[in-house]
Amino acid sequence: MKSLYSIIRPLVMALALFAVAMAITSRTASAQGTGPPPIAAKAEKESMLNIYQKGGWIMHFIALSSIVVIAIISFCAMKISRKAMLPSGFEKSLAIAFTNQDVSSAMKLCEGNESSLSHVVRETFTKAAAGVSVYSKADLEAVAAETIFHEETKYMLWVNMLNALAAIAPMMGLLGTVSGMIGSFDQLAAGASKPSDFAGGIGEAMITTAAALIVAIPSMLAYFVFKNMLQSLISQLALSSSSLISRFVTGMDPVADHAEA
């Protein structure tokens, strides 16, 4: 039930944001109108659904990409954080266990925790115990580094998807622009001469461009934010893992030992 809720919540948030985005697009389109006052008044009363339909078939793909973007941003916000990757209380409990060189207690703590630090500790001591009869610092640090790299790769997959969507969305908007201009030129070739004859194609071109930018700009911003956050957290994860390994090997707090020296 908890996992189902975590999936449904981002989708609901995505639909809500899309509705807000289309409202902004509707107001922008109305504000840019240059026709007579009666036409402008009519444009202001246009519903979001009408604006969406005027964008043409490409709007379906832009809407779908906006839902995917919101879902990924929600996932990254929940997973790429210090609370999720390096919970302070859990880290302190592990520090006490490793200072006492109590591996069994540390592994029990990891069983009920799904943080990145828990994965690193669990994989490190499981693999080291299976491969060597005596725990050595070099073996532990090598396995920890491998697991940390896996954790970084796992989350960077989602962060990079934001970058990909930020690049793809403007391309979809450009495709909608081209489609709208083709429609306008078809009207011109058919002998149309009134501005209203070209309004449909031009409206499609502008709406798809605006909608695509509404998707692309937050995607690119979120990409850089989460990328920097992940790099910082991975660095802290490596430092914390090294400290825990030193505690286990020496049976002392390396920070306190250094301060006394």
pLDDT (average), residues 91-98: 90
* pLDDT greater at residue 32 or residue 81: 81
Q: What confidence score (pLDDT) does residue 239 get?
A: 93
Rg (C-alpha) for the chain, rounded Å, is: 27
Q: Which of 56-70, 191-205, 208-222, 244-258 has the lowest mean pLDDT?
A: 191-205
> With left for phi above 0 and alpha for psi between -120 and 50, is residue 56 left, alpha or beta?
left
User: Which residue range forms the structural domain that includes residue 32?
Assistant: 2-260
φ, ψ for residue 31 (rounded to 5)?
-70, -25
**Residue 7, number of CB atoms within 10 A of its CB:** 11
Question: Under a CB-based contact definition with an 8 Å cutoff, are residues 18 and 67 in contact?
Answer: yes
**Residue 179 confidence class, pLDDT cut points 50, 70, 90:** confident
pLDDT in tens, 35-81: 444 444 444 566 767 777 777 788 889 899 999 999 999 999 999 99
Report how many domains make up the chain: 1
Q: 151-158: long-range contacts at Cβ-Cβ below 8 A with a sequence spacing of 24 or more?
A: 151/85, 151/116, 151/119, 151/120, 151/234, 151/237, 152/230, 152/234, 155/76, 155/79, 155/80, 155/230, 156/227, 156/230, 158/72, 158/75, 158/76, 158/79
Collapsing DSSP to helix, strand or coil, 75 comes out as helix
